[in-house]
Structure 1
Amino acid sequence: MAIRSFGGSLTEKQREFYHNEGYLILEDLLNEEDMMAPKEAMQTKVQWIADALASAGLITDKLEHRPFPYRLAELFQGLTSEDFLQFGRSWRDRLPGYYHLMSNPKIVDAVESLIGGEIFSNPVYNVRPKVPGVAAGAVPWHQDKSYWPDANANPVITVWLSFIDATLENGCLHLKPKTQHSKVLDWHHEKHTGTGYTALHDHQLGRQKTVALPVRAGTAILFNDRLLHMSTPNLSDHVRWSVDLRYQPTDQDPMPQHGAGFLVRSREFPDRVATLEDWMASKPEHGSTASV
């Protein structure tokens, strides 16, 4: 089947690999400058959590001197998974650093190669601190589309980004190539850890090999929302920080039931692209008078 040609930054070989395998690795896509603003947003949330833990009497030291990879892990040493899960298994705070990440031209250029230049940033973005010893760290086998099975949105491209080196020890991403052609499989909510993740049974995974993807910080992994994937527990002494973003063509369902996405690129209507101020006000486009 011929693959429709778009602009963007990917080579023909990369596009073919994505369409055939269901995923693509873009090593070192982001540099330290690109990661600075979202890291500041993550550190803001960690400070909020430290303040809350201290106010609740669960900690006596907010560990404000500790480095980025270690602070959150050490804040929860001796605490329980329930203590962590009160702050959510993943975060979707409306902080400026995340807008700058979602709007980063390096990311959007890559997405444009796959779906064209009319791009909507899906409201389902997640900041994931995989904390050692916390139940939310391990994510079971699933398809992202299981979180929006009724949405009129296909394709949705997940862009998974590492903010420290993701390793086999700290729980890197694992996936099954070529499974993006699967229908949305019957799924269930994981019940043992309190996370409520959607999950698949072992017998649903088929015989396709599993590929583990340890990657350096700044690497992006793009994959189709039907691709089977998971991640393992964090057995290290630090947090495995990652963010998963999602993009889709503008003619697909914006999924307002999941929050407010925004127009991140439009070759046809560039004046409508949402600014930081629009996004902070939950407006999907520049000039829109309504918030989602």
Structure 2
Amino acid sequence: MVGTLVAHEVERREFWRGLCPHMTIEGASAVTPAQVGDTSLLMSDLKREGYVQVPDAFGERCTAPIRDAVTLLSQRGIPLPFAFVFDELWLAFQGLSTFLSTALGADYRALPDFWVWYVPPNENAAGWGPHRDRVQPTLDPDNSPHTLTVWLPFTDATPLNGCMYVLPAHHDPRFVERRWDGDGNNVVHNPQDIRALPATAGSLLAWNQAVLHWGSRGSRLGKAARISAAFEFQRGDRAPFNNPLLDPARIPTFSERLGLIGKQVLQYRHMYPLSDEVAAVATTLFERYMPRTMITLRG
């Protein structure tokens, strides 16, 4: 369990390499571009539906190592965002640069907001409940996004192991009102408007951050766990929605990753019970390694 770890163990590359020898840390691996198809069609869907879904964006060569690493972290009781100590997750999201440049502009930035899930197929497990990633305005009048959440499944995501559900933007009265905060902002008035998004391993899902979405509950009828990760991005010509903004073309150093992971564990503690031991490790990493500035903001 991570509660038996101390910060100086977590800070050692050797610890992580010994845990997952098939993964790399500050290696020289090349980025494999995701297969996303016609980005103009994706943008049309993104503006109307509020989300896009592309099957087979990544192959097994990309998904298998990450799936195995996250499974091992789950078995050891280590908070799953620690999967981001490894290069492979950063490389996967870097592979989406063509899509992200189309959606957010060539100077898009990565936000210091990411997470990893392991949802086993049983009734006690579920993804995050209905929510909008941001309730402040993050859209142009035509629904071009200022921010995006990108969600990648590394196993098949099904209704029996926590696949994503959304209320498509064109069925959501909040998109007519242009107001996404306040009471009832996570209520679906017509359940038939809900859309399930089962996805095969290696798919790309992305949504604007006003979209109402959630992960479903697992079931003993499911065949395998749902393993996935998400990362948030924003336009480069908007003020930061969180700090520090990251250059998506640069993978953070090992020590910077530790600081960023500590930040995730602390900022999402409202989603998960957090032991005093884990909180102490995350706080130490955040205070010792969290980069305060990672890019020079433009004009």
Shift of residue 133, structure 1, vs aligned partner: 3.8
Cα 1:245–1:162 shift into 2, 3 Å: same
SS of equivalent residue, structure 1 residue 12:
helix
TM-score (norm 1): 0.62
Matching of residue 217 in structure 1 with residue 208 in structure 2: no
Which has the larger displacement, 17-26 or 244-253?
244-253
Cα 1:150–1:223 shift into 2, 3 Å: closer
Aligned to 1:48, which of 55, 76, 86?
A: 76
CA contact (8 A) 1:10 1:113 kept: no
Matching of residue 240 in structure 1 with residue 226 in structure 2: yes
SS of equivalent residue, structure 1 residue 124:
strand
Matching of residue 101 in structure 1 with residue 88 in structure 2: no
SS of equivalent residue, structure 2 residue 134:
helix
Aligned to 1:184, which of 180, 184, 188?
A: 180
When the two structures are aligned, how many residues end up with a matched partner?
216
SS of equivalent residue, structure 2 residue 113:
coil
- Tell me which amino acid in the other structure corresponds to 2:44: E
Q: How far, CA to CA, are the matches of 2:192 and 2:253 in structure 1?
A: 42
- Tell me which amino acid in the other structure corresponds to 2:155: I
CA contact (8 A) 1:162 1:215 kept: yes
Shift of residue 170, structure 1, vs aligned partner: 1.6
SS of equivalent residue, structure 2 residue 182:
coil
Shift of residue 162, structure 1, vs aligned partner: 1.1
SS of equivalent residue, structure 2 residue 224:
coil
Aligned to 1:253, which of 219, 230, 240?
A: 240
Cα 1:201–1:282 shift into 2, 3 Å: same
Unaligned runs of 5+ in 1: 1-7, 50-86, 189-198, 266-272, 284-288
Cα 1:119–1:231 shift into 2, 3 Å: same
- Tell me which amino acid in the other structure corresponds to 2:151: W
SS of equivalent residue, structure 2 residue 81:
coil
Q: Percent identity?
A: 19
Q: How far, CA to CA, are the matches of 1:201 and 1:122 in structure 2?
A: 27
CA contact (8 A) 1:37 1:98 kept: no
Match of 1:114 in 2: 103
Aligned to 2:147, which of 156, 166, 176?
A: 156
Cα 1:119–1:44 shift into 2, 3 Å: farther
Q: How far, CA to CA, are the matches of 2:224 and 2:68 in structure 1?
A: 18
SS of equivalent residue, structure 1 residue 100:
helix
CA contact (8 A) 1:132 1:234 kept: yes
Provide, for residues 147-193 of structure 1, a one-character-per-residue CA deviation record: whole Å limited to 9, x for no partner.
Answer: xx5999x62111111111111222211111124734222269xxxxx
Shift of residue 219, structure 1, vs aligned partner: 0.5
Match of 1:291 in 2: 291
Q: How far, CA to CA, are the matches of 1:137 and 1:187 in structure 2?
A: 24
Q: How far, CA to CA, are the matches of 1:209 and 1:140 in structure 2?
A: 17
TM-score (norm 2): 0.61
Q: How far, CA to CA, are the matches of 1:230 and 1:175 in structure 2?
A: 7
Match of 1:19 in 2: 47
SS of equivalent residue, structure 1 residue 114:
helix
Match of 2:131 in 1: 142
Provide, for residues 115-150 of structure 1, a one-character-per-residue CA deviation record: whole Å limited to 9, x for no partner.
Answer: 11112111111101112446551432211114xx59
SS of equivalent residue, structure 1 residue 123:
strand
Q: How far, CA to CA, are the matches of 1:212 and 1:263 in structure 2?
A: 33
SS of equivalent residue, structure 1 residue 145:
coil
